[in-house]
Amino acid sequence: SSYLAARRTRVDSGRAEGSNPPASTWVGKSEPLHIPEPGTILAGKYRVDGVLGQGGMGVVLAATHVTLGKLVALKLMRPDLAVDKGASQRFVREARAASLLRSEHIVRVIDLDTLEDGSPYIAMEYLEGEDLGAVLARCGSISAHEAATYIVQVCEAIAEAHAANIVHRDLKPANLFLTRRANTPCVKVLDFGVSKIIAGGPLVDDVASTDTKSLVGSPHYMAPEQLISAKSVDPRTDVWALGCILFELVSGRSPFNTGGALAQVLASILRDNAPALGDLCPGLPDGFITVVERCLEKDPSRRFQRVDELAAALVPFTTAPAFIGPRQARPTAIGVGTPAPMIPVEVAAGQGASAATTSPARAADNRGRAWIIAAALVLLVAGGYVGYRAMRSAPAPALATDIEVPTKVEVPVKIVPPAPAAQVDVVTPKIDVAPAAPVLDDKPAKKPAPKKKSKKLEDDLIGPSFQ
């Protein structure tokens, strides 16, 4: 689906269900937004093609640069916010923050300017795909492998932001856009509009100080310290939000979604532990559950202290299993009951397509052949060794080793004639024993004169451990 359809679907469903609204929509009322008609030329260079989505801050349009012929996403502010100095400054800061960061997992800003009426706009790269909020609305949940793959990419983007002293402060599925990079999924972080600028970075926070009693962010993903005071927000606040997103991606529900009023949600974040993820999603790897639980520690000092630590903990879960059966209860991010072409199963060179589609029965037959071949090799080596020792040590029973060779070996597998490709030719090495070699007995052998070399052949054959 296109960015246009995906964004419109998310906005319409969000209004209908009233769940997880954007950060600015639940704070207060807004004036009706006038949306330019298709074909309208804005700022003398952008032709409006349609509406991508609407929110509390304004509207995002699909537009074409009339000179370059380039398709862009054009973000406009609501008229009542455009005249608010603080809101306008935050809008501009969003563009500056995104343009400062170079990660491929952050939406690219192309232009920042003002319209004819003086209100600011941001031109961003046009994306094909859908945000993770739309994925959840369509699929319900995704696998731990997919969730880990997506969030590791998000961590890369947020790590760069944190290095620039920028805390996103509004991470949620709707602000993580899933697109494609060649044949692999690529997640891009959207909306730095309510980000916090920490002193000492390349950006200067020219926005009026936020009231410490005001809430900035999306309630279901806000950390406890974020609810208490905006001054307490730091990079670990984004770690909490990523933990909430991981929880929701694999379970289909927010960890603190009480189903009640906003006050109940906030109280649950401050007071309650998240539900046991293992009970909600049986079969999840224990290590994955541990990662999510650590992100959701109430005490920031007990969480991952940096997003790169979180990414490192998630990397082991980004590898797809060798055989993936049907997933009726947990469809992929591509669609219910359909394969996931965005996450291809890589086949080692030389294996061909058959290696990725081997059935369990065929695999069992292969394992049976392997056990039979291995047992034959063991018997062959053991028999040759015992025969050689018996020949060399028959006159010296004191040094003989009691080895019982079973006359019959029972292998608990069905013997299937090996396929030509699996046939193994075993070649028994020949050992030439000198007929005149001395025989060992109970008495210690006398050391030969240094000038004689008669024991060299014996040493080469039986080694110093038998002397």
**179 CB contacts (<8 Å, ≥6 apart)?**
127, 128, 129, 185, 186, 187, 188
The encoded tokens of residue 294 equal 């650590």
Q: 41: number of CA atoms within 13 Å, CB side?
A: 5
pLDDT of residue 201: 60
pLDDT of residue 319: 76
Tell me how far CA of residue 454 lies from CA of 237, 392, 431, 451, in angstroms. Answer: 80, 17, 18, 9
CA distance linking residue 110 with residue 122, whole number of Å = 8
pLDDT of residue 84: 83
* Residue 90: DSSP 8-state: H
* SS3 assignment, position 467: coil
The encoded tokens of residue 249 equal 């991606």
What's at 333, amino acid-wise? A
Instruction: Please identify every residue annotated as catalytic.
Output: 170
CA distance linking residue 437 with residue 459, whole number of Å = 10
CA distance linking residue 40 with residue 467, whole number of Å = 98
**For the chain, which residues make up each domain, given as ranges?**
8-126, 130-203+212-337
CA distance linking residue 193 with residue 57, whole number of Å = 9
What's at 22, amino acid-wise? P
Class at the top of the CATH hierarchy for domain 8-126: alpha beta
Q: What is the pTM of this model?
A: 0.62
CA distance linking residue 190 with residue 142, whole number of Å = 21
Instruction: Give me the CATH topology for the region 130-203+212-337.
Output: Transferase(Phosphotransferase); domain 1 (1.10.510)
pLDDT of residue 229: 86
C-alpha dihedral (264, 268, 271, 277), degrees to nearest 10? 160
CA distance linking residue 345 with residue 244, whole number of Å = 28
What's at 268, amino acid-wise? S
Q: 287: number of CA atoms within 13 Å, CB side?
A: 10
pLDDT of residue 349: 36
H/E stretch holding 73? strand 71-77
- Name residue 364's beta-bridge partners: none
pLDDT of residue 237: 97
pLDDT in tens, the chain (467 residues): 334 444 433 333 333 333 343 443 333 345 566 789 999 999 999 999 999 988 777 899 999 999 999 999 999 988 888 888 888 888 888 888 888 898 999 999 999 999 988 889 999 999 999 999 999 999 999 999 999 999 999 999 999 999 999 999 999 999 999 999 888 899 999 988 888 888 766 665 555 444 445 667 889 999 999 999 888 899 999 999 999 999 999 999 999 987 778 899 999 999 999 999 999 999 999 999 999 999 999 999 999 999 999 999 999 999 755 433 333 333 333 333 333 333 333 333 333 333 333 444 444 444 455 555 555 554 554 555 545 455 544 454 444 444 454 444 454 545 445 555 544 454 444 545 444 444 444 455 555 555 554 555 455 545 554 44
As a whole number of Å, the CA-based R_g of the chain is 34
Task: Supply the DSSP string of 328-339, one letter for each residue.
Answer: SSS--SS-TTS-
- 184-189 and 176-181 beta bridge pairing: antiparallel
Q: How many CB atoms lie within 10 A of CB 381?
A: 12
- Name residue 60's beta-bridge partners: 53, 75
* Residue 434: DSSP 8-state: P
What's at 90, amino acid-wise? R
- Name residue 180's beta-bridge partners: 185
One fold for 8-126 and 130-203+212-337: no
